[in-house]
Structures are given as structure tokens and as C-alpha cells.
Amino acid sequence: MKRLFTLVIALTAAAFGMWADSQTELNRQLKAYNSQMAAHQYLPAARSAAAAAAICADAKNYDGAFRLLANNDKTLAERHISPDSLPAVFYTTERARFLIYRNLSNNSDAGRSLAKMAGYAKKAGNKELTSDMLFNEAQYYYAINQTAKGDLCIARLIKQYDQANDYKAADKAYQDLIERAVSANDARLVEHTYENYMRWSDSIEAITAHTELGKVKQEYAESQETIAEKDHTIKARTGWVVTFITLFVIALAALGVGAMFYWRVVAKNRRMKKSVDTANAESAAKSAILHNMSSQMEPTLEQLDQTDPAVRNLRGYVRRVGELSDVESAGQLDEEALEEVNLQTFCDAIANKIRPMLNPRVVLHLDGCKGYARIDAPEVDKILTHLLGNAAKHTAEGGKITLAYRKRGAKSHQFIVTDTSPGIPENERENLFKPFATPTDISKGARLGLPICALRAEKINGSLILDPSVTTGASFILTLHS
């Protein structure tokens, strides 16, 4: 029987007519298969058969691929090998069939193969097979437009790691899923996996932040408790000195150790407070200097020739410096400042302010600006107005500007401004959001607008970045956490 099966495989391979490199790899897999079967190494043999079938499918020889898998099943049956005894072996070959059906867009047969795979994976009880099964299920459901079921498969896969609080493993699993979807050239799966990944990242970030905050609070409470205990010990041992004069030396030594520890903790807390106070004082001093400079220069500039472009540029620069000072000295986000806004109305109002500034035949498009969001509307308005104003200024005739909104989690939002302008030069990106980082020709602009926007975003518990993946034009991402 072994010789007969080897002959069938060899004849099948001879009829394939592939390129030399594919033929060589096919022969290698078939040789491995025969030796593994002879040694009763059924799982490696199944993997070799699956690899050989994939080579045939890549060469469009689907009949040859299915014959290889069928011959493998026949050999297993002749040796009385059943799915109950070796479910992983049958899962491997059925998965190969599933992938070929997917390649042929034969979703009905792919669905039947998927059902068999699910049974084999359940019998195997193997975490690796379960993960692979969930991924293939997701790929299948996305292909037949059953997005909700696909998302559920991805959620079940990640839940395995989340239940163990193994967020690093879950993050890696998401990265692997995205890579596999890209390798499979499955755009739908890439899109949904990435969106799910972003939502999951936001939720885990919040959980992690809450956990870390809890740790800090716990450490602080323990520190305060330790200080109180040591303080009590010092007082108690001081009493012992008076009451028990015979134990004076021992009590004094214990008192000294306790006092030393106590004052070390107190001194450390004082140093930390002093560092914070110094940083705040330096920031306040810098803001005061900038504010005074702009206030004192403004009256002087008003006496100069206002028609002179240099004077106008200088006045604009001074105003920007004053604005930077005001934003920097402002407090952090006040929760009461947040309001529920209608995104369509909010974004339309900003777009209507910008449209008169557009160059001829430039289109300003709104994407996904629907529903409601709880944000600091005045500050977000200022940031988006500046970003869109920059885009309008630098987007040439016939270009396109997009203001998009994306919800990234229960309390996370993103506004994205994208344009078809020449973009930001590579050598300017590093210091794009840093004020006064490079010498500036104010005749070409103050170059303080983006640093001010980034600072505004920080003050309202958000961030502003330039999307590094966009190489044509520019794309700014404003992320907010409410």
C-alpha cells in the first residue's frame, strides 16, 4: 500500500507542470510526507501534505491539490486513524481545503470545511488551534459580509488573553492578526481588525492607567501610614526613656533609628514637592515674561507705519506669543467645561468658516461627523479652525481637504484633518510642535500656531500629532479623552 500511494503521489506531481522552483519545493514536501508517513509521524505528514496542496493551488492546479488531500485522508482511513484519536491531524488537512475554497471564492464549501475544522479544534482542546480557528472564522465571516460574527470571533480570541490580564500577549495577537490579514490580502479583515485593535487599545489604556493610579495611591497611603507609625513609635519610645530609665540606651537607639527613617521620608516628600513647585514656578515665570513682552511691545508697534508688511508681521508674531503665554498659563481641563455637541452641526460650522479661504476648486469634505460627543467645544473649535486654515492656505487649486471624526472608545475621540498640500518637510517634523525650537523668518509666519494647538490639546486631556504614515500631503490627528 505504501508503494502504491508513493506512486500515486509521484504521478500526480509529474502532471502538475509548474515552474522549476515550485516543482522543487513540491518534490521536497512530497518526499517529507512519504518519510513522515512511513515513520507514523502523522501531524508532520499532514503539514507536509497541506504545504504541497498550497503549492498546487498557487499554480492554479486545484484538482491536484484536492487529490493530494484526499489521498492523505484515504491513507489515514486505511491505517484506522480517526479524528477522535488525532483531531489536530484532521484539522491541518481540512484547513488546507478551507484555504483553497477561500481562494476559489467558494464560500459554501468553505463554510462546510470551517464547520469540520471547528469540530476538530474542539476535540483537540489546543489553545493554538483554537486561536487559528477563530482567525479563520473571522476571515470567512468578513468575506460573506457577516461583519458582526467576524468581530465576535476576534473578540473571543482576544478575551483569552484579557481574562489572564496578559495585555502584552493580547496586543501581540492583534498585531499578528493584522499581519496575517495583510498577508492574506484581505482588506476587509485588515480594516475591522485595526478598528477593533484601536478600540481595545483605548479600553486597555484606561484600565492600565486606572490600575497604575491605584498603585500610586496605595503606595502613598502606605507611606503615610508608615510615617504615622514611626511618629507614634518615636513618641512612645520617648515616653519609655522617661518611664524606664534603666532601658535608656536601648530606647534611645530605637528612637534614633525611627527618627532617622521618619525624617528621611519627610525630606524625600519635601524634595518632591520642591521639584514640582520649581517646575510650576519656571513655567509661570516664562509665561509672565512672554505676556509682559507682548503687552509692552504692542503699544510701541501701534505707533509704527501699519501699512509696512514688516510691522504687520511683527504685530502678528507678538500676538501669537501672547496667545501662547495665555494658553500655557491656563489650568487643566475642567470637567464642567465639557458639553455634548452635535458633531454634524459642530463640524459644519467650522467648515463654513474655512470655505471662503479655499483656493479655486478645492473641496472641503466632512467624513463620519455624525452623532454626539462630549468635548470642550470652544477649545476643539480653535484647534480645528487653525488646522483647516493651514490646510486651506497650503492646498493648491483642485486639491482636497478632509475633516474626519472617529470614535476610538467609550471616552476617546479623534478628529483628523487631511489635505493634499505639499506636506511637512522631513527635517521640520521633529520640532513641529515645539515653540521657538528653530530660528524663524516671521515674514513667512510666526510658526507658533501648531505649538499653540498642541498645548491647547494637552490642556484638554488630549494630544495633537502629525500622522507619520501619510507621505502625500499632511494629516493631523487630534485625540481627546473625555
Ordered by start, the domain boundaries in the chain are 2-207, 260-329, 335-481
Q: Which residue has the higher pLDDT, 362 or 209?
A: 362
The pLDDT-based confidence of 210 (bands split at 50, 70, 90) is very low
Q: What pLDDT shows up at residue 18?
A: 45
**d(Cα 84, Cα 123) in Å, to the nearest integer?**
7
Q: What pLDDT shows up at residue 17?
A: 47
Contact criterion met (CB below 8 Å) for 322 and 330:
no
**d(Cα 388, Cα 415) in Å, to the nearest integer?**
11
The average pLDDT across 204-233 equals: 55
Strand partners, 463: 479
Asked if CATH classification 3.30.565.10 holds for the domain at 335-481, the reply, yes or no, is yes
The average pLDDT across 177-194 equals: 66
**d(Cα 349, Cα 347) in Å, to the nearest integer?**
5
The pLDDT-based confidence of 331 (bands split at 50, 70, 90) is confident
**d(Cα 154, Cα 173) in Å, to the nearest integer?**
10
**Average of per-residue pLDDT values in the chain:** 77
Closest CA to 192 of 140, 237, 231, 235: 140
Q: Which residues contact 238 (CB under 8 A, 6 or more apart)?
A: 255
The average pLDDT across 10-25 equals: 59
Looking at 257-261, 319-323, 357-361, 475-479, which range is the least confident one? 257-261
Of the candidate CATH numbers 2.40.170.20, 1.25.40.10, 1.10.3720.10, 3.40.50.1010, the domain formed by 2-207 belongs to 1.25.40.10
Q: What pLDDT shows up at residue 414?
A: 93
- Is the pLDDT at 432 greater than 50? The verdict is yes
**d(Cα 416, Cα 255) in Å, to the nearest integer?**
62
Contact criterion met (CB below 8 Å) for 71 and 118:
no
Share of the chain above pLDDT 90, in %: 33
The average pLDDT across 109-125 equals: 91
pTM for this predicted structure:
0.42
Q: What's the grid cell of residue 102?
A: 477561500
Q: Which residue has the higher pLDDT, 178 or 238?
A: 178
Dihedral, CA of residue 405, residue 408, residue 414 and residue 416, to nearest 10: -60
Closest CA to 398 of 421, 429, 367: 421
The average pLDDT across 125-136 equals: 84
* Long-range contacts, stretch 61-65, CB < 8 angstroms, 24+ apart: 61/16, 61/17, 61/18, 62/100, 62/104, 64/12, 64/15, 64/16, 65/96, 65/100
